[in-house]
Amino acid sequence: MSESHQNEDVDFEKALTAIPIFPLPQVVLFPEAILPLHVFEPRYRAMVQHCMATHGAMVIAQVIPGEDEHGRPRISPVAGGAIVIEHQPLADGRANIVLRGRARLRLEELDPEDSRPFRMARATVLEDMSVSVRQNDRTALVAAATMFASEVKKHDPSFTFRLPASLDASRVADLCAFQLVVDAAVRQAVLDELDPRVRVEMVLGQLALQHGAMINSDKNRVLVLN
């Protein structure tokens, strides 16, 4: 049976003093993005059980090269805080969960405990700079995202991409980065950026590069076939 978690705002704020970390390679979670996960490792099964029994929140942190002082994989200090919005426990202890991104967070990892198989952090919410993005820049980003998504769909008919019309430019950039930007390092750089104007420029530029590379690849494939 699937469960939903309520009181997102209250639970999330309570969680920030000690929030569980789910380190994942190549995964960067943005505010408002939806991320489904299948949880099978014992330590992360325990983490999900902890989340569902407490505040229903966790951090998705990208694994980066190297190890920390405890011999664990290093993670980016800026990560995506999320609420578990769906939880489907399975009979063998695994679980399917769906996360909704809530905020950019700066992490201060807590010392490991023998009784705790997963990592925890004290987290601080990172707020966007209070600046305005020009409507023309938002329009250009939406157009670039739509063009790139259409190109992807030619190769993968099952691919879908939708942007709610009500989103402001900063959230448009976030969701475009989450769904369309291929390079995880670029996605992390977009997550790290707190100036929405710069964030829009970064995603717009990356989508233009990806779109150009995809078109050139198609042209080269046609030349080879001919």
* CB atoms inside a 10 Å sphere around CB 110: 15
Exposure string of 160-184, with b = 16+ CB inside 10 Å and e = fewer, is: eeebeeeeebbbbbbbbbbbbbeeb
List the domain boundaries for the chain: 8-126, 135-225
> Is the CB of residue 211 less than 8 Å from the CB of residue 148?
yes
Query: How confident is the model over 127-138, as pLDDT tens digits?
Result: 999 999 999 999
Q: Give the pLDDT score at 220.
A: 59
pLDDT at 1 over 80: no
pTM for the full predicted model: 0.89
Q: Does domain 8-126 have CATH number 3.40.50.300?
A: no
Phi-psi sector, 71: left (phi>0), alpha (psi -120 to 50), beta: left
Q: What is the DSSP letter of 132?
A: P
Query: How confident is the model over 46-64, as pLDDT tens digits?
Result: 999 999 999 999 999 999 9
Q: What is the DSSP letter of 135?
A: H
Query: Which range, of 3-7, 122-126, 179-183, averages the lowest pLDDT?
Result: 3-7
- Nearby residues of 28 by Cβ (< 8 Å), 6 or more positions away: 60, 62, 80, 177, 178, 184, 187, 188, 190, 191
> Is the CB of residue 199 less than 8 Å from the CB of residue 221?
no
